[in-house]
């Protein structure tokens, strides 16, 4: 179930109604009166959840799921599913899952008719607010925290003690530790970039996770940290992000990392401790970057990087290999220039 501090549940819904809502077909009519109340990935789903399957490589997850129901494509209609998991056939299972999520889960809101600093917020002594600050219902702000002008703290957000939140920063769907610095214009907890194909075009896939910023983290001005699609986006203790850094959904960054300006980390990448990214560097998605890795400025890796290595270039490679290739190209260019001078 998505965190109730940030999401309201609108379930349950019967599988017959869910089939009508999404345009799916139940494999077994006898499952029509069963109900679901939430969406979840196959590996995380429980007995009241509905999930989806689009890729054969996840058939093992389907066979072992605890989900009450699963959207599958016509080609997977005969897939082995547990007795307790009803199958709903849909030409685009992820689109059906997206419709189900939109029906079952709604983001908590801060009604415009309520005070800007909501009466349900829990604010410890010594918190300082600038002009125009908005604090949503259920938010918790720790002692000694300073929130600058026009910052917006969404419903349910927890911010620890002795933090500094810059002007015009926006924080939602987030749990934030002590001594965290979030500079002006940063956006924490916005929806990650997830898209589901449908018969009517691209749909925004549900983003039902959170952001967790551990103690001592710094987020630079105008940087963005997306909340998870279902799991959390996590930034470890004392990690420092420069200005204009983008962290995609489900990313997990270790402790004491440093990411220079305009770095971009694509979704579901896992980064170890003590990693350093130079300016304008980045990663592809679903990668594993080992402890103490260094990626030089402008480097872009589409592969995992083993612990302790230094890579550079596009596509990135170990720095010694990169330098040998550059030296070889330089020698070839010189030789061609000399040959042209003798013609």
- Other CB atoms within a 10 A radius of the CB of residue 227 amount to 25
Residue 338 lies in a domain: no
On the question of pLDDT at 341 being above 80, the answer is no
pLDDT of residue 21: 95
On the question of pLDDT at 168 being above 80, the answer is yes
Q: What is the pLDDT of residues 228-265, one digit of tens each?
A: 999 999 999 999 999 999 999 999 999 999 999 999 99
Provide the sign of the torsion angle of the four alpha carbons 336, 337, 339, 343, taken in this order.
Answer: positive
Q: Are residues 302 and 157 in the same domain?
A: yes
CATH for 38: 3.40.1390.10
- Please state, for a pLDDT cut of 70, what percent of the chain lies above it: 99
Q: Are residues 152 and 262 in the same domain?
A: yes
Q: Are residues 146 and 247 in the same domain?
A: yes
Q: Are residues 290 and 224 in the same domain?
A: yes
> pLDDT band at 56, cuts 50/70/90?
confident
For residues 179-214, b (16+ Cβ closer than 10 Å) or e, as one string?
A: bbbbbbbbbbbbbbbbebebeeeebebbbbbbbbbb
Give the residue, 332 or 297, on which the prediction is more confident.
Answer: 297
- Please state, for a pLDDT cut of 90, what percent of the chain lies above it: 82
Q: What is the pLDDT of residues 71-110, one digit of tens each?
A: 999 988 888 888 889 999 999 999 999 999 999 999 999 9
C-alpha of 273 from chain center = 19
Q: Are residues 165 and 281 in the same domain?
A: yes
Can you tell me the distance from the alpha carbon of 213 to that of 300, in angstroms, rounded to the nearest whole number? 25
Q: 110, 286, 97: which is closest to 207 by C-alpha?
A: 97
Can you tell me the distance from the alpha carbon of 340 to that of 130, in angstroms, rounded to the nearest whole number? 68
For the chain, how are helix, strand and coil distributed in percent, rounded to 5? 15, 30, 55
- Other CB atoms within a 10 A radius of the CB of residue 226 amount to 26
Q: Are residues 146 and 102 in the same domain?
A: no
Q: Are residues 155 and 61 in the same domain?
A: no
Residue 76 lies in a domain: yes
pTM of the model: 0.91
Give the pairing of strands 13-14 and 35-36: antiparallel
Q: Are residues 286 and 204 in the same domain?
A: yes
Q: Are residues 93 and 134 in the same domain?
A: no
CATH for 308: 2.160.10.10
Residue 153 lies in a domain: yes
Can you tell me the distance from the alpha carbon of 229 to that of 223, in angstroms, rounded to the nearest whole number? 19
Phi and psi for 187 in degrees, rounded to 5? -120, 115
Residue 28 lies in a domain: yes
Q: What is the pLDDT of residues 131-155, one digit of tens each?
A: 999 999 999 999 999 999 999 999 9
Residue 334 lies in a domain: no
Q: Are residues 247 and 277 in the same domain?
A: yes
Which positions are annotated as active-site residues?
A: 249
On the question of pLDDT at 43 being above 90, the answer is no
Residue 78 lies in a domain: yes
Q: Look at the chain and report how many structural domains it folds into.
A: 2
> pLDDT band at 226, cuts 50/70/90?
very high
Q: Which domain holds residue 31?
A: 7-107
Take residue 91 and report the two structure tokens written for it. 């030409």
How confident is the model over 105-120, as a mean pLDDT?
A: 96
**Cβ(90)–Cβ(53) below 8 Å:** no
On the question of pLDDT at 215 being above 80, the answer is yes
pLDDT of residue 342: 65
> pLDDT band at 23, cuts 50/70/90?
very high
On the question of pLDDT at 343 being above 70, the answer is no
Q: Are residues 99 and 157 in the same domain?
A: no
């Amino acid at each position: 179930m998505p965190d109730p501090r940030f999401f309201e549940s609108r379930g349950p819904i019967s599988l017959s109604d869910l089939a009508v809502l999404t345009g799916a077909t139940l494999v077994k009519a006898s499952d029509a009166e069963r109900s679901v109340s939430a969406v979840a990935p196959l590996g995380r789903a429980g007995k009241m959840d509905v999930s989806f399957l689009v890729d054969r490589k996840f058939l093992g997850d389907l066979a072992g799921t605890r989900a009450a129901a699963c959207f599958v494509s016509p080609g997977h209609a005969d897939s082995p599913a547990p007795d307790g998991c009803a199958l709903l056939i849909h030409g685009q299972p992820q689109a059906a899952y997206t419709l189900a999520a939109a029906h079952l889960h709604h983001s908590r809101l801060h009604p415009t008719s309520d005070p800007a600093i909501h009466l349900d917020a829990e604010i410890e002594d010594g918190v300082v607010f600038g002009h125009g600050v908005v604090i949503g219902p259920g938010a918790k702000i720790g002692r000694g925290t300073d929130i600058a002008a026009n910052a917006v703290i969404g419903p349910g957000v927890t911010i620890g003690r002795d933090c500094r939140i810059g002007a015009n920063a926006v924080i939602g769907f987030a749990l934030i530790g002590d001594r965290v610095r979030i500079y002006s214009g940063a956006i924490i907890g916005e929806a990650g970039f997830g898209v589901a194909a449908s018969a009517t075009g691209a749909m925004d896939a549900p983003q039902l996770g959170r952001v967790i910023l551990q103690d001592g983290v710094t987020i630079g001005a105008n940087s963005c940290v997306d909340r998870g699609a279902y799991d959390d986006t996590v930034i470890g203790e004392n990690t420092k992000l420069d200005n204009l850094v983008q962290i995609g959904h489900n990313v997990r960054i270790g402790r004491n990392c440093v990411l220079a300006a305009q770095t971009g980390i694509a979704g579901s990448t896992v980064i170890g401790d003590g990693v350093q990214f130079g300016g304008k560097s980045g990663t592809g998605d679903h990668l594993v970057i080992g402890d103490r890795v260094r990626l030089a400025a402008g480097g872009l890796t589409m592969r995992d990087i083993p612990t302790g290595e230094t890579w550079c270039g596009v596509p990135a490679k170990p720095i010694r290999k990169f330098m040998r290739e550059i030296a070889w190209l330089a020698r070839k260019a010189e030789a061609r220039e000399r040959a042209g001078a003798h013609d």
